Structure 1
């Protein structure tokens, strides 16, 4: 499968919102944008994203609903690979250390146990 064309800043913002909202109309996407352009500009961006292969649309009455062509899990994996290469030189340990340093939420005992189990399983599998 060939890679999809790259996204502009505005296209990335729209894609992030579509992933966050799930199926979303142009109006709903626009409502959730930090500094929304005109409704026509949002519709134009959505059309471009369909042409680039990032989105699909389906008719829902008088409006269209837009959803990502790539499943969220695959998009997350791709985004994380990009972050690892770009900001951590491919170091998983560096990325995990940064996440722990951020502490944007308390790490519960359940979270700690789950993370420990994932590390142990990866070690057993030689990853």
Structure 2
């Protein structure tokens, strides 16, 4: 079983993973300092332990501190999250996700952003040299 399939991440766990990816490695205190509306230090340690049990982070010791780093690369984690999003909300179909993004009733995408999406799709369809 893929490590990412062992359990989905909570909002807080995703925030912690974002911090670890951004910093490269971090102590529990550094994670706590970078969290919005941070929980207690012991709660951060518990969340890091949960992430470790899910195979998302590993730790080593530097002096007296545990230092955490990602166990899988960010690209693989992102791909797994997108696959989960597709399976959960869009029948596993990327076109359903894109259709939701391009919904005319939702003005969250500008014309420039839509043009950029079109270009990405067109570039993807071009034969490789």
- Fold equivalence (TM over 0.5): yes
Deviation at 1:29, TM superposition (A): 1.3
Once the two structures are superposed, the pairs formed by residues 38-57 of structure 1 within 5 Å of their partners are: 38-57=40-59
Residue 74 of structure 2 is matched in structure 1 by 72
Deviation at 1:61, TM superposition (A): 4.6
Deviation at 1:109, TM superposition (A): 6.2
- Residue 120 of structure 2 is aligned to residue 114 of structure 1: yes
The alignment of Structure 1 onto Structure 2 pairs a total of residues equal to 121
Residue 96 of structure 1 is matched in structure 2 by 98
- Residue 84 of structure 2 is aligned to residue 82 of structure 1: yes
Gaps of 5+ in 1: none
Output the aligned Cα RMSD. 3.0
Aligned with 1:53: secondary structure?
coil
Residue 3 of structure 1 is matched in structure 2 by 2
Distance 1:43 1:107 in 2: 39
Deviation at 1:44, TM superposition (A): 2.5
Aligned with 2:26: secondary structure?
coil
Gaps of 5+ in 2: none
TM-score relative to the length of structure 1: 0.71
Q: Give the conservation status (yes or no) of the 8 Å contact 2:102–2:114.
A: no
TM-score relative to the length of structure 2: 0.70
Deviation at 1:89, TM superposition (A): 1.1
Of the three residues 24, 27, 31, the one matched with 2:26 is 24
Distance 2:111 2:33 in 1: 28
- Note closer, same or farther for the CA distance 1:104–1:62 as it changes in structure 2 (3 Å cut): farther
Distance 1:104 1:20 in 2: 28
